Amino acid sequence: MMTLTRFAGWPVIAGAGLAGLSAALHLDRPCVVLTPGALGEEAASMLAQGGFAAAVGHDDSISLHVADTLAAGDGLCDRKVVETIIGAGPSAIHTLLGWGVAFTRKGSDTLDLHLEAAHSRARIAHVRGDGSGAGIMQALIAQVRNLPRIVVLDGVTLEHIHAVDGRVRGVWLNTGQFIPTNSCILASGGAGALYAGATSPNSNTGRGMAAAARAGAQLADMEFVQFHPTALNVETGGARLPLISEAVRGAGGVLVDETGERFTDELQSRDRVSRAIAGHRSEGHQVFLDARTGKSGKGLKRVFSRQFPGIALSCLHYGIDPDRELIPVRPAVHYHMGGVATDLHGRASLSGLWACGEVACTGLHGANRLASNSLLEAFVMGRSVAWDVNNSPRERHSCQDPDRPVRMGAASFGVQMEKGAGILRDQDGLGALSSYLAPLAGRDDHALVGAAIASAALRRCESRGSHWRIDCQMTARAERFHFTLKDIGLQERSSVYA
């Protein structure tokens, strides 16, 4: 049968990163988790190196963490959202410890906390130096596997959201099957893989955002694409670029060019460091991260491969010994602050649709995400979504198959995205990108998300946070932009049905 009657009425969670697993574990009812690969694979959370930001240090406070987040967000954070999510950090750490996450400690009682760029205190709880995402995910995966009420469908993704009269009534899967439900939770990740040269898993192309938009939900802050300053500058044959964690610079690593000279402050916010590197490279320079053990108090205090074993292995795979050599680096797309617009319960503008993690836009990150706030947001908002779904009415569902929408295309536009909506933007480049993608957006999900990014970036005639317009660098009045299909000239969602 086309309809999976067994799961009728169950919440469907599209994505199995930290946000999706947090939602599943906090639900009080049976649910279905969709994952494009085996559980834990193709999730950006598994790749996270830095760790989990939370104000748990003896010299730290919620107010300091809030202030750092607001400063990084460059005027566009929602203060209530920031205070709520940041305020939940200590309780989230407590829950994760109870679920078996082996955060590294100093002694028996104190967590070992890293410092990262734009944080005023060391507040990054980590696992095995640079294995934080994998360490957290492995603990949650073990919890999920011990709960029979959570059904995981491997190799399955959400293809369409079926909405009737402004309410979710079911979801179509890439297998051609349909699950009737009034509770869909998007946790499908960001859109980094739309770009050529990104640290994101190749499945993170924004298709959850596209499905939400086609069903009638609003998107927000689509122009804000964060470039990580230090991806490993090597040829990967189309695979994602290995990441050199923010924590390396927090531990004393410095940026130098081919002459050995430093050219910027490494501990500024990510957007500033990325622009400094991009500018220096545009002048013909090469850029390296010097993370060797220093003398006279400079450089790393511990040998790199002992402090960051995972990153060291990535470097060695490409013939680079970070203990003895400079590490070639370049900026690369790493995180998308925009996504499906939600409130603090994770509710989208479409009834019955929730979103959490990178696919969502809560207003926490504003124009520029503060390092390591993403895992915090994913866990806290996954929990918030689950609590809201737990209190939502349970409805009976018809098991009759609705008409299946036309299958959307998924072409590659990485080179065009990098050129038109990269670190340094202008009207000509954005206009050309928008004109190229908009006519394709009606039948291609990648084009839809790319066109939304270009359209929003064209509208924002200023430079703010991760969005930098070389043709209008003055900052205007702080304002957040929402987006619907009509903003790129698309018809109502019914146009995608056969």
Nearest Cα neighbor of 213 from 348, 403, 335, 35 is 348
Length of the chain: 498
Strand 158-164: give its sheet, edge to edge: 158-164, 167-173, 178-179
Nearest to 323 by CA among 312, 333, 338, 310: 312
Active site residue 396: no
DSSP state of 3: B
Nearest to 250 by CA among 119, 130, 116, 372: 116
With beta carbons less than 8 A apart as the criterion, state whether 336 and 457 touch: no
What stretches of 187-326 adopt beta strand conformation (E)?
219-220, 225-232, 254-257, 287-290
Catalytic residue chosen out of the listed positions 169, 249, 270, 330: 270
Instruction: Kindly provide the b/e burial profile for residues 433-461, where b requires at least 16 CB atoms within 10 angstroms of the residue's own CB.
Output: bbebbbebbbebbbbbbbbbbbbbbbebe
Ranges of the chain with pLDDT below 50? 296-297, 494-498
Straight-line distance from the first to the last Cα atom of the chain, in angstroms, rounded to the nearest whole number: 20
Measured N-to-C along each axis, helices 62-72 and 89-98 cross at an angle, to the nearest 10 degrees, of 110
- φ, ψ (nearest 5 deg) of residue 88: -85, 0
By CB atoms closer than 10 A (0-12, 13-18, 19+), residue 382 is buried
Residue 403: alpha-carbon gap to chain centroid:
32
CA distance 365 to 482: 15
Do the bridges between strand 353-355 and strand 105-106 make them parallel or antiparallel, or are there none, so unpaired? Answer: unpaired
Is the Cα dihedral 166, 168, 172, 178 positive or negative?
negative
Provide the β-strand partners of residue 254. 290
Contacts of 99 (CB under 8 A, 6+ apart): 25, 139, 140, 143
pTM of the model: 0.93
What whole-number distance in Å separates Cα of residue 79 and Cα of residue 245?
27
- Which helix (H) or strand (E) covers residue 315, if one does? helix 309-317
Are 198 and 241 within 8 A, CB to CB? yes
CA 349/CA 467 separation, integer angstroms: 25
CA–CA separation, 454 vs 481, rounded Å? Answer: 13
pLDDT of residue 129: 81
* Two structure tokens written together for 25: 């574990």
Q: Which domains does the chain have, with CATH numbers?
A: 1-224+337-404 (3.50.50.60), 230-331 (3.90.700.10)
